[in-house]
Amino acid sequence: MNLKDIQNVFFIGIGGIGMSALARYFKFIDKNVAGYDRVQSPITDGLVERGIEVHFEDSIALIDEAFHSKDDTLVVFTPAVPETHSQLGFFRKEGFQIKKRAEVLGLITKDTFCFAVAGTHGKTTTSCILAHLLKECGMPITAFLGGISENFGSNFLLEGTAFSVVEADEFDRSFLHLSPDVACITSMDADHLDIYGDQDELHKSFRAFAGKLKSGGTLMVRNGLPLDGTTYGIEDEAEFIIENIEIEHGTYIFDLVTPTERLKKVRFNQPGRHNLLNGLAAFAMAVQAKCHPHRLAEALDTFKGVQRRFSYQIKENDLVFIDDYAHHPTEINAVYQAVTEMYPQEEVTAVFQPHLFSRTRDFADEFAKSLERFTVILLLEIYPAREEPIDGVNSSWLLGKIKNPNKKLIGKSDLIKEIKKCKTKVLVTMGAGDIGLEVPRIKKELAYAS
């Protein structure tokens, strides 16, 4: 398929973070763009503001006449869309060109110098940091991000087309559609077992992704992962290393050691050792584009973060409210490490919304151990996303596994009331479902109360 011949692009699931970045890209290059999503959200509102038509009912009648031309219309869908979807069925029956988001990303980036960030955790933050570093170094990049960069105020950046930055998503083996020049694998923890079955199959997929590198490409690998590549780590035997870490007013200060030099007193403002690793991975990748290491180190200091990745909503002396996308036990552990490192003397209330019945079932014991470390745990019902309920798998069942008496199952309508009851100085909300939509309301109520 030649994308130059496409005039119309219709997205099924346009409100997804990755899908919306693609929609913005096609709108930017003057294509006619529209789409469907199940619910209205700040993301869909932003698309509408850009002149992209979005509707929220799965009705063939709502597909504009302009998108009925098979010869110059591309349909993009997300794997989360069910096979019973009427609009998807219509386009298939009529023989339209239909592709998954990852396939389209592969087409867009195949003729660029492509940076691809893979891993079960850290993809979004690492790719956002990388895009920021490359932009600050004046590189002509296009970036498709899985989160809203605080530096750009967007999940999409177009500064040029010679270089591209993409997240390489392991879900549904999507990343196998990419052919990167520089790739990074941040982590390979078991996840998406509804797709892979077991961790061995997941690892096979990551090895297959590593094999998709263009000839002469570079693979960056977090030290300790079972893959060959250029390694990075914290106080470790790796090729890119962070050493001599200090914390000063919530900022990390450290030495960054490359294969050729030591950069002293580098500053980075994102809490958590996991974020240090993300920053180091992005730095090591950017070096491969011949960016000057000292300029990259300066740019690390000006990275502002990613929405819903240890995102400070309130940061006062008597109240701290942090929101995070954490939806896997490893990610919850990373949030706990970061918050207790920054606030070692404080009690912490955690609000968690589990994401997917299958993930909750597969990692119930690990979720319980991760959550019970917090002072108080407020648990919401499972956000189902693309799944049907699984018998016996619910938040009440998960709550019973948590060995901490300060726990409670709550509904969204009681969220503010229960948070206020806790009276802890530090509050963390976590989850990949619609808990993010509750954050502005929580922030407003807590700010008003204080």
Would strands 407-409 and 348-352 be described as parallel, antiparallel, or unpaired? unpaired
Q: CA dihedral in degrees (81, 86, 87, 92; nearest 10)? A: 90
Would strands 53-55 and 73-77 be described as parallel, antiparallel, or unpaired? unpaired
Sign of CA dihedral 112, 115, 119, 124: negative
330 in a known ligand binding site: no
The CB density around residue 293, as the number of other CB atoms within 10 Å, is 18
Cβ-contact 209, 168 below 8 angstroms: yes
Maximum CA pair distance of the chain?
Answer: 63
Q: What region, left, alpha or beta, does residue 216 occupy, with left being phi > 0 and alpha being psi -120 to 50 degrees?
A: left
Cβ-contact 148, 306 below 8 angstroms: yes
Cα 450 to Cα 444: distance, rounded to the nearest angstrom = 10
Q: What region, left, alpha or beta, does residue 122 occupy, with left being phi > 0 and alpha being psi -120 to 50 degrees?
A: left
Cα 39 to Cα 353: distance, rounded to the nearest angstrom = 18
120 in a known ligand binding site: yes
Would strands 97-100 and 8-12 be described as parallel, antiparallel, or unpaired? unpaired
Q: Which two tokens stand for residue 372?
A: 């019970």
Of residues 142, 127, 27, 148, the one with CA closest to residue 76: 27
123 in a known ligand binding site: yes
Q: Which two tokens stand for residue 186?
A: 């941040």
Q: Which two tokens stand for residue 246?
A: 């200090």
349 in a known ligand binding site: no
Cα 76 to Cα 64: distance, rounded to the nearest angstrom = 15
134 SS3 class? helix
311 SS3 class? strand
Cβ-contact 10, 64 below 8 angstroms: no
Cβ-contact 8, 73 below 8 angstroms: yes
Of residues 166, 153, 159, the one with CA closest to residue 49: 153
Alpha-helical runs (H) found in 110-230: 123-136, 193-196, 199-210
Cα 236 to Cα 375: distance, rounded to the nearest angstrom = 32
433 in a known ligand binding site: no
The CB density around residue 194, as the number of other CB atoms within 10 Å, is 15
274 in a known ligand binding site: no
119 in a known ligand binding site: yes
Q: Which residues are annotated as a binding site for ATP?
A: 119-125
Binding site, annotated residues:
119-125
